[in-house]
Structure 1
Amino acid sequence: MTEHETTPETTGDSGGTTTVVEGTKQESAPVAAPPVPVASDHPDRWGRVDADGTVYVKTADGERVVGSWQAGEPAEGLAHFARRFDDLRTEVELLVARLSSGAGDPKHALTSAKHVRETLKDAAVVGDLESLAKRVDHVLAKAEEGLEKAKTAKEAARTQSVARKQELVEEAETLANESTQWKTTGDRLRQILDEWKTIRGVDRKTDEQLWRRFSKARDAFNRRRGSHFADLDRQRGVAKNRKQELVEEAEKLVQSDDWGPTAGRYKDLMVEWKSAGRAPKEADDVLWQRFRAAQDAFFARRSEAFNERDAEFGTNAQLKEALLAEAEAIDPGSDLEAARNQLYKIQERWDAIGKVPRERVRELEGKLRAIEEKVRGAVDAQWRRSDPEAEARVAQFRERVEQFEAQAEKARSAGDKRRAEQAEAQAKQWREWLSAAEAAVATR
């Protein structure tokens, strides 16, 4: 073997390594080229080995030397260079298959196809180089088409991402300026932030502009919320002080026996409590418990006193019913003077008994009034029939009127309004009898 001879191991390899670089081609994709024939099936169709071992490949421009074969038979050398072509062909077909399935990276395919195309003009291979070149052009066209689609899809995704972030910013700005649903809005702003982090594909400048708006809106909401709760804390402090005052007054009223006015004041305190507003929760609960305890203690005392009073009034009603039974037995027709004296004594005892339950007052007083009318009617009838000792009767009636008027005046001076009213009522009755007696004397 001479120093210029080469072996299969030292001849240049057409496969080589690939380096990824960017490149695009604006021309439209050509019609798909037919599959490239397998060169190793009929290597003599695509090349030859001459007598001195030089290997040639046939091209459209004529034959081109691709190497030298000195290791054996010329047919073996031709087959060796045909297998190299087949390896290159397989690489191209793999690119075609990946692009067609959509699994391949168009950018990587474009770089690889360019590399193959650059190597074809000097490739040490034997095969259908023209068909392989067309196949490579097909790959280049498909790769550029894929890159364009990817670019379009990327731009569409970017537009969609920008639009979504724009929507989120506008929502955040609306919430920051208008919402008073503090907890709900705070939760929503956190959700917006979480979604914001998942959105990709926005260019840095646009993303920073939108982020500044979102951050500004969030800060504005936080300031409004902080101001609101600061005002609320101040209001609750005022409410706490006011409720403390109401509690202290309620506790002072617990021992009051002035049942009516005090009960009314407790009602007023309740109205003022509600209008005072809410204090801090823990303090509000404690103050409310004290307020209710004082209120309940007072009304429990009042209920106990009313129960005792009602029991006493019930007994008084029974005593007055017994007096009415006595009064109903009075017979003014048999002895008018004795009937008047008996009625007078019953009236004094009636007044001394005191009050009865409110619902019984009209009933019992009405029955007594009926008996009094019966006696007075008998007196009137007696006067109409005869008038013995009329002057003495007038004097007696006048004395009775004066006596009851004196009792009324004495009761008023002592501050006993109830007894004063009772004495005035009796004086009025005797005054009516006096008027009737005086009229009888006058017409005698």
Structure 2
Amino acid sequence: MREAEGWRVVGQYPDGTPAEALAYFERKFADLASEVTLLEVRHRRGGASASDLRTTALSVRAKLDGAAAVGDLAALVSRIDVLTAELAEASETEAVAAKEAVAEAVRERTVIVEEAEALAARDPQTVQWKQSTAEMSALFDRWQAHQQNGPRLPKSTAQQLWRRFRDARASFDRHRREFFSALDETHKAARDAKTRLVERAEALAPRGEDGIGAYRDLLDQWKASGRAGRKVDDALWARFKAAGDALYSARGEREAADIEASREKIEQKRALLEQAAPIVDEKNLGTARQRLTAIQRQWDEIGRVFPRDVERGLDDELRKIEQSVRTREDADWKRNDPEQKARANDMTRQITDAIAKLESELAGAEARGDKRAAAQASEALEARRGWLRALGG
């Protein structure tokens, strides 16, 4: 084949015609041209690694030197050389991007590790284990997804980060096991304590209402005995409450019987209140006290009534009448108290003497024409007369 540099021997094709030989070597050229075209298309479309394409392009370029093919090899060489140069530049850009991607991947994976370490470092007594376990599982899923879909990290860096993440998970799992082991022990102790309380509460049943005080003491112990786990707590509480309900039911039955028995007593006390109402208007205090005392004696003989709020209402009504009589008695006592009367008489005498003295001073001041002394004596005299009127003099 004749080229720019001269003739080039392409090859030999024995046992065939010249046309067959030419067709064979033209197919060889077509195959090489297809390889070059495919590389160009893959480069233009993007997505493939420029470094890998460059390696392939160099391999194809080596095939073109002295290729046993008939065609414009020089044009193919020119195309492949241009493509190789472009891929070399793209490879450098790609390498920089790959380095940045690796650095970013290291940062992202480090964040995952640090979050896992932070979870593992929490105080086991304050951790919400259900939520924290879900968070640790989510971190592991992120790690796996990052490992599968992210860029390949340097082996030493990847191993170092994995060791930290693995140790954090192991520490977290150990703390969780220890916490729940201790919690199981606490639950067991609470379960045993509450079981004993339930048995004691159920043993109070024969005492009926009289067992309520002891049941309340057991209830205080129940509240202080801690948690035994939701299911166990619910089951034990159902038994404990049923035992208490039986005691309170006995009291309820007794109170119902008391209320039924009190119906007639309530009517009797209401009748006494109607008798007591006119006492408030009784003018003779002795008679009022005598009538009230008789009613109070009958009231006590009737005894207590139920329910309690009805009893309180009836007692309040009688107490109003009692207070009215007591108020009148207190006022009468003050009026007739000998000591108080003596003090009042003594005060009256003192004021009367003072008035006589002031009247004498007033007359003397007027005789002298001393208006100032007369005004002072007159003012003092008027005040003493007011005091005397207040004392009833």
Give TM-score, length-normalised by structure 2: 0.62
CA contact (8 A) 2:50 2:91 kept: yes
Matched, 1:170 2:114: yes
1:291 aligned partner: 240
Taking structure 1 as reference, are residues 308 and 151 closer, same or farther at Cα in structure 2, changes over 3 Å only?
A: same
1:57 aligned partner: 2
Deviations 1:203-240 (A, max 9, x none): 33222221111111111111111222122222222222
Matched, 1:187 2:124: no
Deviation at 1:348, TM superposition (A): 6.7
Query: How far apart in 2 are the matches of 1:129 and 1:184?
Result: 69
CA contact (8 A) 1:176 1:221 kept: yes
Q: 2:168 aligns with which of 212, 217, 229?
A: 217
Taking structure 1 as reference, are residues 69 and 178 closer, same or farther at Cα in structure 2, changes over 3 Å only?
A: closer
CA RMSD of superposed structures (Å): 4.6
1:278 aligned partner: 227
Query: How far apart in 1 are the matches of 2:278 and 2:83?
Result: 136
- Is the partner of 2:102 in helix, strand or coil? helix
Structure 1: give runs of 5+ residues left out of the alignment.
1-55, 331-335, 375-444
Deviations 1:135-182 (A, max 9, x none): 232232233334444444443333333222211111111011116021
1:136 aligned partner: 80
Computing the radius of gyration over CA atoms, which structure comes out larger, 1 or 2? 1
Query: How far apart in 2 are the matches of 1:115 and 1:175?
Result: 53
Deviations 1:354-403 (A, max 9, x none): 3343432343477699999x9xxxxxxxxxxxxxxxxxxxxxxxxxxxxx
1:428 aligned partner: none
Higher relative contact order (CA 8 A, sep 6+): 1
- Is the partner of 2:223 in helix, strand or coil? helix
Query: How far apart in 2 are the matches of 1:95 and 1:284?
Result: 74
Query: How far apart in 2 are the matches of 1:76 and 1:184?
Result: 78
Query: How far apart in 1 are the matches of 2:19 and 2:272?
Result: 156
1:312 aligned partner: 261
Q: Which amino acid aligns with 2:131?
A: T
Query: How far apart in 1 are the matches of 2:107 and 2:278?
Result: 106
Taking structure 1 as reference, are residues 112 and 225 closer, same or farther at Cα in structure 2, changes over 3 Å only?
A: closer
Q: 1:363 aligns with which of 300, 314, 317?
A: 317
Query: How far apart in 1 are the matches of 2:274 and 2:32?
Result: 139
Q: 1:302 aligns with which of 251, 274, 282?
A: 251
Identity among equivalent pairs (%): 38
Instruction: Within 5 Å, give how 1:74-93 maps onto structure 2.
Output: 85=29, 88-93=32-37
Q: Which amino acid aligns with 2:177?
A: G
Query: How far apart in 2 are the matches of 1:355 and 1:78?
Result: 134
Deviations 1:101-129 (A, max 9, x none): 33666456445543444454533455555
Query: How far apart in 1 are the matches of 2:118 and 2:55?
Result: 49
- Is the partner of 2:165 in helix, strand or coil? helix
User: Which sits farther off after the overlay, 229-238 or 216-225?
Assistant: 229-238
CA contact (8 A) 1:169 1:214 kept: yes
Taking structure 1 as reference, are residues 247 and 121 closer, same or farther at Cα in structure 2, changes over 3 Å only?
A: closer
Q: Which amino acid aligns with 2:243?
A: A
Q: Which amino acid aligns with 1:212?
A: R
- Point out the structure with the larger helix share: 2
Deviation at 1:303, TM superposition (A): 2.1
- Is the partner of 1:178 in helix, strand or coil? coil
CA contact (8 A) 2:191 2:233 kept: yes
CA contact (8 A) 1:109 1:139 kept: no
